[in-house]
Amino acid sequence: MRIESLEFKSGVYAIRNTRNGKTYIGSSVNLASRIKSHASRMRNGVSKNRYLQADWDSHGPEAFSVEVLVYCLPEHCVSYEQQCFNAFRPEYNISPNAGSQTGWSPTTEHAKAHSNRMLKLWSDPVFREKVRAKYRSPVVTDEYRTKVSEGLRQHWQDHGDARRLAMKSRRKSKVASRRNGSPELSEFRSVLSRSLWEVRAYREKVESAFDAARSDPEVQKKRLETLASESHKAKLKVNAKALWSDPEYRAKNCKFTDEQITAMRLAKRSGAKLKELASEYGISVPQVSAICTGRQYHWVLMPADK
């Protein structure tokens, strides 16, 4: 898993020690930034979790792996993290409560060791210069800007169509991956959602949000405007047409078969009265008219089109 692919994604993650099977679970609104922070702190020996730091020093970075347990909205991170705490019982987590430092207090030895490590780190001129360079504003000349602009313009002229197609394909695959995910992840999300819905306070919060939306005049006004818009009506029409074009859906929901519709249209073309056909098939006269003119059962070809 590439850490860059998690940029600005929120969710719950796990850091696993493959040597002893111990786990650390956390959550963040930016998974990439949080995981990079863990790795940087442990490499420099200044991790806030002394147990995780001790095993990192003993086993080395190659003994640790990172896994995203669930993606979720930022406001749900703590709730999902607590559910993961209850399900996996992570050994490295000092606090039993998600989103809280309750249960963790640094010892005198840990605080002193942390202070010594930071003093040693900041006494290194190379480290200080590295930090200053990170926050120093880069010097960008007009010549450099012109060179970059010309290079980008030439690149998009030569490879623009291929790049746009590749970017569009990647966006579609990312959307599909976030929507579907792996079967294991989908099952895990389902279990977490069910357990979350069993909490009465969560249900009351969701129901109160829905009630507030129903009673909000602005929300209802926007809803009515959306329903009355031509784009929404066109979308509903397209969706309905696609749905009724599915043979399996028609078999479950249609009153007549395609053969009966063809026979009805042929009878009308031969001179049968609408009232007679309505009596024969047990439907109303307007329905017979809609079927014979193709406004209903549009997927069945008219006799003249066969």
* Residues 216 and 265 reside in one and the same domain: no
Could you tell me where the beta strands, DSSP code E, fall in the chain? 11-17, 23-28, 64-71
In 10 A of CB 243, how many CB atoms?
11
For the stretch 112-123, pLDDT in tens is 888 888 898 889
Note whether residue 96 is domain-resident.
Answer: yes
Query: Does residue 304 surpass a pLDDT of 70?
Result: no
Q: Give the predicted TM-score (pTM) of the model.
A: 0.38
Exposure string for 20-47, b = 16+ CB within 10 A, e = fewer:
eebbbbbbbebbbebbeebbebbeebeb
* Residues 27 and 59 reside in one and the same domain: yes
* Residues 202 and 288 reside in one and the same domain: no
The share of the chain scoring above pLDDT 90, in percent, equals: 14
Give the domain-ending residue among 84, 105, 126: 105
Give the domain-ending residue among 179, 211, 228: 228
As a whole number of angstroms, the distance between CA 238 and CA 290 comes to 19
Domain count of the fold of the chain: 3
> Which CATH number is 75's domain given?
3.40.1440.10
Provide DSSP, 81-101: HHHHHHHH--SS-S-SSTT--
Unique residue bearing structure tokens 């995910």: 181
* Residues 82 and 47 reside in one and the same domain: yes
Task: Specify whether the CB–CB gap between 305 and 299 falls below 8 A.
Answer: no
Q: Which domain holds residue 220?
A: 198-228
* Residues 23 and 40 reside in one and the same domain: yes
